[in-house]
Structures are given as structure tokens and as C-alpha cells.
Structure 1
Amino acid sequence: MPDSWHQGRLAAFDIETTGLDVDTDRVVTAAVWRIDATSGATSCTEWLADPGIDIPGDASAVHGITTEYAKTHGKPAREAVTEIAAELNYLVERAVPVVVFNAAYDLTLLDRELVRYHQSADFTGGLRVVDPMVLDRQVDRFRKGSRKLGDVCGHYGIALDEQAHGCRADALAAARLAWRLAEAHEDLAAMDIDELHAAQVRWRAEQAASLQAYLRRSTSPEAVVDPNWPIIPASG
């Protein structure tokens, strides 16, 4: 048995989308890595979806997928979303932790897609998530600068290849970042995955409250930062 959650089996998940609104935007691409840190074995499954709506130019500029390309080469969105959820269910059934950078975005948007297509989000109950964004903010609270994936990877010496902002590269980078954080911080490595998941729920809430207070003081008196993690409940 591995000594820590990061030394055994891990998965990593990332999506690219039509935009930033978790309630209305759609999945365009997704990737799930399966990683065995003991043996070094890895595999990756990827999806390209036709989201059923136009992909705005600013989103295409990030991930490189245009509306025309998605319509021509992508699976119907319902089919792709169902397969992604099935892969996550597979991992849940085998108690494999899933690394997701900024999980509250990726997993919430996927949740809304499942609701949109009347699919069951069964994976949400047993999913154990490792979110390097939450972990980094917890262990290095006062570091200045951006906490985007590329910047956090740069801080920890993890290279993003030329496919950065593609879900395959970003998911793998997130997994490497989670491993590096656990190696560097014994308190993270010492937790079992249930303890770590529960801790991240608390830490995310604390981080959201701190950011909200800062925004209200500095730029936006009515700013609201949702504290929920790893999935933001639907309003109404």
C-alpha cells in the first residue's frame, strides 16, 4: 500500500468550454488521465463535443476549437457528457482520487451539463477531489501574483507544454502539481483522502470569505464569492 494518497493511483480531469458561466456555458473538450504513481503507468481519454451552441471567438482563442470544427468532428454533447460522467463514476467506484484544478468550475459546469441532458450525476456523492488551486492557496496564503494554473505551475517548476490551455496538457500539469505539493508539505501527504477532501471544503470556504472581504473593501462593495466546493449547488 502507498504511504500517501499521492503515491498510489490518481486521476486528473480538465475541461475546456464555451465560456466562464457554469450555468449556461458548455463542454467543448475534456480529458481524464489515469495515473499509477507506483508503476509510472499512465493513460488518457479525451473527448471533443459539439456543444450545441456557438463557441465564442475568445473561447476559441484559448483552446483552439471553433464552432465549425466542433460541429464537424465532435460527438453530440449529450453523448460526450454521458461518457465523461461514466469515466468519473468508474474512478469513484475504485476509490481513485481525482485531481481537478479549480474544481468548483469544472465539476459545477459538468454537473449543469448532466442536468441539462437529464443525466444522473451519481459520481458526486463519492468523488474525492484534490484541487491544487485550493491546496496552493492554503499552504502559501500570502504569496503575491496570479494563481492561474500556468502561474502556479511556474512557481513550482512544472513545465506546461505547447498544448497549454488544452485539457490534456492542463489535466496532466494539475496532477504533477498535486504530487509536488504533497511532496513539499508533509501535512498534506499525511492526510488520508477523505480527510484531505473535507479539509479542502473548509479551506475553500475560508479562501472565498477572505477574497470576498477584500473585493468589498477594494473594488466592489457588493461582491459575492461562492464558498461551495467542489460543486456549487444550483440556484433556485
Structure 2
Amino acid sequence: MPDSLRTNRYESRCARCGHTVAAEAGVLLLSKWGYTVVYHPTHAPEADAQGGTSDASAMRVNQREEPCQVCDVVVPEGLGVLVRSRFDGWQVYHPEHLREPAPPRRGPHTGWHQRRLIALDIETTGNRYGVDRIVGAAVYAADGSARSWLIDPGPGPLMMAPYKKHGITVEHACAHGVPTAHALNEIAVVLARHLITKDPMVVWNAPFVLTTLEAELLRHGLIALSDRVPEGLSPICDPLVLDRHADPFRSGGRALEAVTEWYGIPHCHPGHAAFDAEASLALARVIGSCFPPVGRLSRQALHREQVCWHARYAQDAEARRPTENRDMT
């Protein structure tokens, strides 16, 4: 046995085979999940320089039902993994959600994320303001109620951008969709009724979604959403802006699908408005819970801060662009 490895002082059970290991006859390793484990010398995984291991055999299962620290779904007894936290004692995870690094633990603090939120998402023919048309929309509320619209984009030479994932064709929307003006007015009424309560409206990538919606309302001679609410389009909660601000240096993509996966939020059909709206609302709540400085903001401060955070992000992104690309625009 290498001199750098410690032996067990007391009789214990081997983490690999489960059989008894006599005192001073086993190998004692530090699990990366925060506790020591004992092995028969022939069963011990290779240890790192600090005498630790991340081998799956070193996991400790939960002895009672507890909510998973990532997805908040209850983990049945014996089916989860226990991890020792530096500050909060033992925590339980689903095995598939156990990873390093991981999102911060969800906190019990109160805030806007626990209020009656509503989420909006739209499906469009492309990503150009004032040019592309809305062909679908969905609204999802915190109480589980939802509405969705398939929208006829109207006449004109329209083409669906190939990168759109929602699966709606222009032909299908024209044949089966609700007339544009009628659908847009219904959407605006639902959203204005919520915004008047001064509870946040969740919109992933809000600058694009809300600008497109306003442009379409005005194009059809309807009252803009911002003119239907005394205080305008506020408060808005954009989980994309929140995530960029709260965790700016995390590697990986920032698409809705990638961010929901990071926070352990189920998202079955990315690109579909109904599922995107539901996932966006859940994501806003989780981010508010994981980051107390964000979750404890007042609703008005949440809106104001996001305006500043998004402007700062846009400035930084522009500064990172190659000089020759900036000169060409």
C-alpha cells in the first residue's frame, strides 16, 4: 500500500463490495462529495494527489426523501446522492444532476420570483424587427393556466427562416391560423391585464420579442401594448439578462435550451412557444431563488437593473467585436 494513503482506524465496510474491512487493513480515501470512504486495498480506485477520489462507488445515498438541490423534485429514499455542503450540511441530488461546477443552491428568501408571474413567447418567420411576421404565440401563468395562438401572418411574399425550430410553415399558419389583428389584440389584452397588477412578465430575449410584438400591433392599426398600461411595459423579467448578469463567466451556450439544462429545468420541445414560455417562467423563478441579490430586488428595481445590465452587456459585446467588422456596419 502506498505510504501516501491512509488506513482505516476502525472496522468498516468496503464501499466497493460491501464486505467488512478490518481496522488498519483498508484504504481510507476522501470522497469529492465531502466524506471519507473505506475500501479493501484491492478494491480501492486510484487516488489523486490529495488522497481523494471521485469514483462513483464513493457516493453516499440518501436515507430519506429530500428535494433535489438542482431541480427541486423529491428524490425517493435510497435513489439520490448525498453531498456535504460547506455551509448547509448534507444536500441531496438526483445522480444525473450531480455535477461540478453546479448552480448555486436555491434559497428560501422571498421576492418577486414567488409572485404571480406570467410568461410570453412568440414564434416568428425570422429575427428581423418590422420585417418578419408572428405565426404563433403562447402565454403561461404561474398558476398553470395557459393560452396559445396559431396566427395567420397575412398576405405577402413570406418565407420561414431555416433556423426556426418551431415547425410551423407559412402555408399551415395561413390555412389554419387566427387572423393576425384578432390574435394580436387578444394577446395584448391578456398581457396588459397582467401588467396592470405590477407583477413581472417573463419574456426570454425580451428586446426582440416585445419589439416584434409592438411592431406587429402598430402595423395592424392596433394600440401598442406599451400604451395600454399606464406605466408602460414594466415590470419585465428577462431570464437571459438575469443569467448573463448573475453568472457572467460560466462556459457553454446561453440559448434557452442550454440555460434550462444548466439549472435542471425540464424543457421538452425547445423552439415551441408554449414550452418555451413555461420553461422561461420556471427559469426566472429558479434564478431569483439561486441568487438572493437578484431575487430580493423590488419589482421596479428588477426592471431598472435589467435595462442597465443589458445595456452594459451590449456595450461589452460590441467592444469585443473585431474592429474590421464594426467598420463594415
Q: Matched residues in 2 for 1:82 and 1:222: separation? A: 41
Encode CA deviations 1:210-231: one digit per residue, 9 max, x unaligned. 00111135x723377xxxxxxx
Gaps of 5+ in 2: 1-108
Encode CA deviations 1:34-85: one digit per residue, 9 max, x unaligned. 11xxxxx3100111101114342616x5111112211121011111111111
Aligned counterpart in structure 1 of residue 249 of structure 2, from 142, 155, 179: 142
Aligned counterpart in structure 1 of residue 327 of structure 2, from 222, 226, 232: 222
After TM superposition, the score normalised by the length of structure 2 is 0.62
Encode CA deviations 1:180-232: one digit per residue, 9 max, x unaligned. 10110000111111000000000000000000111135x723377xxxxxxxx
Match of 2:144 in 1: 42
Aligned counterpart in structure 1 of residue 185 of structure 2, from 82, 94, 104: 82
1:189 aligns with 2:295: yes
**2:120–2:139 contact (8 Å) kept in structure 1:** yes
Higher gyration radius (CA)? 2
Paired amino acid for 2:151: A
1:203 aligns with 2:309: yes
Match of 1:30 in 2: 137
In terms of fraction of residues, the more strand-rich structure is 2
Gaps of 5+ in 1: 36-40, 225-236
> What is the percentage of aligned positions where both structures have the same residue?
38
1:102 aligns with 2:102: no
Q: Matched residues in 1 for 2:159 and 2:326: separation? A: 33
Q: Matched residues in 2 for 1:223 and 1:178: separation? A: 37
After TM superposition, the score normalised by the length of structure 1 is 0.86
4+ runs of 1 displaced by more than 2 Å? 221-224
**1:92–1:123 contact (8 Å) kept in structure 2:** no
Q: SS in structure 1 opposite 2:327? A: coil
Match of 2:126 in 1: 19
Q: Matched residues in 2 for 1:4 and 1:95: separation? A: 14
**1:88–1:123 contact (8 Å) kept in structure 2:** no
Q: Matched residues in 1 for 2:236 and 2:152: separation? A: 27
Q: SS in structure 1 opposite 2:128? A: coil
Q: Matched residues in 1 for 2:228 and 2:318: separation? A: 30
Deviation at 1:32, TM superposition (A): 0.7
Count of residue pairs brought into register by the alignment: 215
In terms of fraction of residues, the more helix-rich structure is 1
Deviation at 1:123, TM superposition (A): 4.2
Match of 2:153 in 1: 51
**1:215–1:223 contact (8 Å) kept in structure 2:** no
**2:125–2:161 contact (8 Å) kept in structure 1:** no
Aligned counterpart in structure 2 of residue 116 of structure 1, from 188, 206, 219: 219
Deviation at 1:149, TM superposition (A): 0.6
Match of 2:75 in 1: none
